[in-house]
Amino acid sequence: MQIRKSTSVNVILYKSKTLANGEHPLMLRITKNGKRKYLSLGISCDEKRWNFAKSKPTDKHPDKVFIESIVSKKIAEYTSEIAKLKEEGKEHTSDSLIEKVEKNQRKITVFDYYREIIKNLIESKKIGNSKIYTHNLSVLKRFRKNKDLSFTDIDFRLLNQLAGYLRQIDFMETSMSLFFRTLRAIYNKAIKEGIVRKDNYPFDTFKISEFSTETRKRALTKAEIKKIESLDLKPGTNLYESRLYFIFSYYGQGINFNDIAKLRYVDMKDYRIEYKRTKTGQIINFKLVPAAQEIIDYFGKVTAHDYNNYIFPILNINVHKTPVQIDNRIHKVITKVNADLKEIGNIAGIQIPITTYVARHTFANVLKKSGVATNVISEAMGHDNPETTQIYLDSFGNDEIDKAMENL
């Protein structure tokens, strides 16, 4: 039988340290499994005015009531948390207990919490996600006219007002859905960290699902792909190379532009490419069909001099080194490529506005028509989750995907 050792919490006058005013700091002492942890209470006391036997200020201390109030409140916070953890059957250390209690008491604002998450995303090299949260915060600040708010301020009424504001500034329904899903993710994280109570949760009544996420048709037909391929574009021009990026995505199992930019020659082996998706961290492995290999060979005239080099001349290993530099460069190039693709679509007489992402949709659509389970691909392309396409494709073996890709 496992015996849980209790945690004791008391306050001491920390004589090992003397402050500039000659007094000693009052410290919270937490003892767990014989190990002690100290936490400053931010107040001090003269040694002569401290009752060591009763661990409290003497009756003659001029601030006796004030000090006792702070001490009793702090001890109550910790004993309450200890009791809660015991009731839930959760173990803790002195460090985890302090972190939990102090975070609960931290009066962090919504804006500050956004900044904290953005900072963590950047440090984790999740630059794309950090930009989503940064944009979210920027819009929220404009709505509030830079007036910060607490999480308990976010209620059904405020969310409705926010939805009205987003419509006033011409947010599309899909953009509104993304905005509120991001805000909801922030709120859920704050609940997990004890910053706000679950009782205040406003998203049970404010339904994000009411925002329409239907988008216009984005997939091309195989005939339209052939039209784009057969255009007489001059090699070496921006239009020519932008077309190659689009076609490579189509023949490369719907690989998105971000991952195309990061492909290196070390990712190629036995006429296959294996890479980790930037968005999900999933390992993707696909066969290089002849059309895709020809595109690699075209760019290889410039990039293939170094086995560690990027396959496509989008990033430069000697210039784009930090996550921010890489992300900024890809954003700059994809903007230009999408402008080129729009022109290519006009030349080819294609009605759908073409972007790099259309290649991904087209691949999945062709895969669906090639015999891969219709319900799986249909659900994958429903956009309820932006990662569904690759997640579902990953559930099939390489042989099944390779066979389907012969029909591209």
State which of 100-109, 170-179, 207-216 shows the largest mean pLDDT. Answer: 170-179
pLDDT in the model for residue 386 = 41
Assigned token pair, 30: 């937490």
Q: Tell me whether residue 267 is in a domain.
A: yes
Whether pLDDT at 382 is above 60: no
The angle at the Cα of 41, spanning 35 to 43, to the nearest 5 degrees, equals 135
Q: What is the mean pLDDT of residues 11-40?
A: 89
pLDDT, one tens digit per residue, over 322-351 is 888 998 899 899 999 999 999 999 999 998
Indicate if 151 and 263 belong to the same structural domain: no
pLDDT, one tens digit per residue, over 70-92 is 888 888 888 888 888 888 888 88
Indicate if 99 and 116 belong to the same structural domain: no
Residue 376 near residue 370, CB atoms below 8 Å: no
Q: What is the mean pLDDT of residues 279-284?
A: 78
Q: Return the minimum-mean-pLDDT range out of 8-17, 36-45, 102-111.
A: 102-111
Q: What is the mean pLDDT of residues 94-116?
A: 79
* pTM confidence score: 0.56
- Residues 6 or more apart whose CB falls under 8 angstroms from that of 182 comprise 132, 133, 136
What is the side-by-side strand order in the sheet with 7-13?
7-13, 24-32, 35-45
Q: Is the dihedral of CA 354, 357, 363, 365 positive or negative?
A: negative
Neighbours of 119 (CB within 10 A): 11
pLDDT, one tens digit per residue, over 145-202 is 999 999 989 999 999 999 999 988 888 888 888 999 999 999 999 888 778 878 889 9
Q: Tell me whether residue 2 is in a domain.
A: no
> Could you tell me the residue range of the domain that residue 30 belongs to?
7-105
Indicate if 298 and 180 belong to the same structural domain: no
Q: Give me the amino acid identity at 328.
A: N
Pairwise pLDDT comparison (106 vs 53), residue with the higher score: 53
Whether pLDDT at 302 is above 80: yes
Indicate if 57 and 122 belong to the same structural domain: no
Q: Which of 105, 139, 164 is the last residue of a domain?
A: 105
- The model's confidence at residue 103, banded by pLDDT at 50, 70 and 90, is low
**SS3 per residue for 109-125:** CHHHHHHHHHHHHHHCC
Q: How far apart are CA 26 and CA 6, in angstroms?
A: 23
Indicate if 319 and 347 belong to the same structural domain: yes
Indicate if 39 and 152 belong to the same structural domain: no
If 0-12 CB within 10 Å is exposed, 13-18 middle and 19+ buried, where does residue 88 land?
Answer: exposed
For residue 67, give Cα distances in angstroms to 30, 74, 305: 19, 11, 72
Whether pLDDT at 105 is above 90: no
Q: How far apart are CA 278 and CA 282, in angstroms?
A: 8
- The model's confidence at residue 405, banded by pLDDT at 50, 70 and 90, is low
pLDDT in the model for residue 196 = 82
pLDDT, one tens digit per residue, over 122-141 is 888 888 888 899 999 999 99
Instruction: Identify the three-state secondary structure at position 383.
Output: coil
If 0-12 CB within 10 Å is exposed, 13-18 middle and 19+ buried, where does residue 33 land?
Answer: exposed
C-alpha 310 chain-centroid distance:
25
Q: What is the CATH number of the domain that holds 384?
A: 1.10.443.10
Indicate if 58 and 189 belong to the same structural domain: no
Q: Which of 105, 133, 157 is the last residue of a domain?
A: 105
Question: How many domains, in total, are found in the chain?
Answer: 3
Q: Tell me whether residue 216 is in a domain.
A: no
Mean pLDDT, the chain, integer = 84
Report percent pLDDT > 70 for the chain.
86
